[in-house]
Structure 1
């Protein structure tokens, strides 16, 4: 196997740059720079010298032994000064070592998976952790990275193996002193697994939204103050505002951290009847995005909401409160009512987050839905009597195999390339 290396920190000028080397010959990189590998897990200050380029830099060197590193392989990390010239010189020197090559995106993590240091759910959570922009995303990603979903899958697997053993004992030893009717115990085990899998599947939508971000659409008739409100929320002029109806013709997005919630506010075209072809397209896009949004804020103005009607989960407020004698409603121009609106949006979304499960990726959800199908079929066969226990056993074996795919033990090559393509080179 090749030894791989890469810059593990962000490219560019910085105080410190970390260059990671992993593989069977990783320790020889130290010899290339003119010193013997330091003791494992003890930081050592060393001069990096090259036979042709001379003195490259003074670096802090860390060695991790085989089986005790992130990848599970021997690893050396060089913490150099964060100069582009220094980093490039060190990388060029490593490239000259036989059997050394630059790492591909996500290859360090892929080796960690292959060497049993991480399971596939942890790999996906690690990607989420790197991409996390809000506190809530960080907390959710850490649940997966610390193995919470894997632990739950192991519990499901153990219960299903127990259920299979009960069924097969009845099948294989029907003439001996074993219980013939094991349906009650088997059903109890399967019901418990199904109940917890159902909870994860039901919580998937919200968990995925925490990972990718909620969408809140601002809708209403023309000149209700939608674009001004978006600009006030964003703290900048993200949308063009004017008194001319139809100014906003496309959906304008502003992503923000709403007190730990990842939220994208959408400014949409004013809802009205129009003969303008381009504006009509914008209105249709507004309708489509608003219907797909997690929450809609309806601003009342001079006009109705057309074919888009508020539901009990939506927020309806009066726009342009600064122009009203009673000051009722919300104003993006003066800021009146904005904090109250933000609090209402946050309250609605937080009430949904409470139902979020550990499953936050479509792949994970698809696996659990497939496992559910096998479990429900198995319960049907168990209910049909001992003569169908062999069929129930086969369905349970399929369910167990499917759960193995959840954590990446079997049949994952078709998804690995997609998973690791989102990683940076040094991870």
Structure 2
């Protein structure tokens, strides 16, 4: 990634397609557009132009976005042409021959960050928005991308700056005789800020569930019908189903959208004692997945020995499978993967249990990086409260709280986070 270059990429996804959007950004954009389209249109107006002066390659819409009023903060342009694979290749070849180079993954967005158009949490929101598969994920990602979290962090930073100015001014002029003590409400102001950030910290788990999904483990003994139920819920033959015990050896994850909330169904190995090393490893992974799951569907069947499931807890739902063969005493719900009986009711039960985990509006905080930054800020504020009798130490703790928030938005130590983040972006974004 080299600063000062003009970059180009197909930004609209794989061809063939009805329309292909080719994006440019950099200092030579104006000259390149003029060379390939004959002239540069008025800013922010789509204008029909022939693409290719010596030899017509296509005819499409051209948009021009002069700096600094563009996505990247640089001169930008877009060519909206027909989504022909051959046509797009020809246009990219022409544009690169005029001085542009092909963009790297996430390079347009990285330039937006470096030019102050987006901060790090907004970029993470953009990445989540591009990958959103459910309505709740879309709403959460869009709110973060639109600056909802950045505005809240800015408000916390402003409060910290006021607190730091209050205490550091007294330290700077401590040798002056007329310097007063800290205001009586200074400690209360720190406590209020700590409570505000702590409340946001408590919502990280809620945000994670929306972003990553509610994990639903299908657990039980071999041949309880876990893989059959997974296939029935996913409406696809994803898992291998046989009458041989121990078919499933690894944890299989299948996403399921239930009314806008993402659920991750986990098909696990049947729980039993075994001499097979491969199956024993599958059982170990199954038990670990059960411990980490948000919801556990404990399956039993009428053609298996009496259920030996663990004591019931709020995460567990006892599901009797193979309803067409008979009933299982003590089950919360009975289903048949073969006939489909009870599946609609089971989805309602899963959704009802999930609603207790993901209630209300999606949280803006959803990443481990969010949790670490806010936990660091809260810890520093707690230290400042204890250190008020020693203003020098309290001032340093307030500075550390500010740095924790600065790291979150990318004003400190951004490079390592950026490298990892942009590696997951698509070319042309």
TM-score range, shorter chain: over 0.9
**SS class of match (1:264):** strand
SS at match of 2:264: strand
The residue aligned with 2:220 is 220
- Which SS does the other structure have where 2:105 is aligned? coil
Q: CA 1:326 to 1:202, structure 2 compared with 1: closer, same or farther past 3 Å?
A: closer
Partners of 1:221 and 1:304 within 8 A in 2:
no
Tell me the residue number matched to 1:324.
326
Give the 5 Å matches for 1:6-405: 6-51=9-54, 54-98=55-99, 100-173=100-173, 175=176, 179-182=180-183, 184-301=184-301, 302-303=304-305, 309-324=311-326, 329-354=334-359, 357-382=363-388, 385=389, 388-405=390-407
Instruction: Find the aligned partners of 2:425 and 2:371 in 1 and give their Cα distance.
Output: 21
CA distance in 2, matches of 1:366, 1:116: 24
TM-score (norm 2): 0.92
Deviations 1:8-47 (A, max 9, x none): 1112201110000111121111221251201001111001
Alignment check: 8 A CA contact 1:23 1:74 kept: yes
Instruction: Tell me the alpha carbon deviations over residues 224-275 of structure 1, each in whole angstroms, 9 at most, x when there is no partner.
Output: 2222211110112222223333233332322221221111211222222333
* Contact 2:59–2:81 under 8 Å retained in 1: yes
Going from structure 1 to structure 2, the CA distance change for 1:14 and 1:34 (only over 3 Å counts) comes to closer
Distance 2:350 2:411 in 1: 41
Structure 1 length-normalised TM: 0.92
How many angstroms apart in 1 are the aligned matches of 2:300 and 2:195? 43
How far apart in 2 are the matches of 1:380 and 1:350? 39
Post-superposition shift, 1:109?
A: 0.4
Q: Cα offset for 1:310? A: 4.0
The DSSP-based 3-state class of the residue aligned with 2:52 is strand
Distance 1:326 1:292 in 2: 27
Tell me: CA distance 1:400–1:252, structure 2 relative to 1, closer, same or farther (3 Å).
closer
Cα-to-partner distance string for 1:300-333 (whole Å, 9 max, x where unaligned) = 2334666855422221122222211699722212
> Matched residue pairs, number?
419
CA RMSD, 1 decimal: 2.1
Is this contact kept in 1: 2:251–2:267, CA < 8 A?
Answer: yes
Give the superposition deviation at 1:166.
Answer: 2.2
Structure 2, unaligned runs of 5 or more? none
Instruction: Give the gaps of 5 or more residues in structure 1.
Output: none
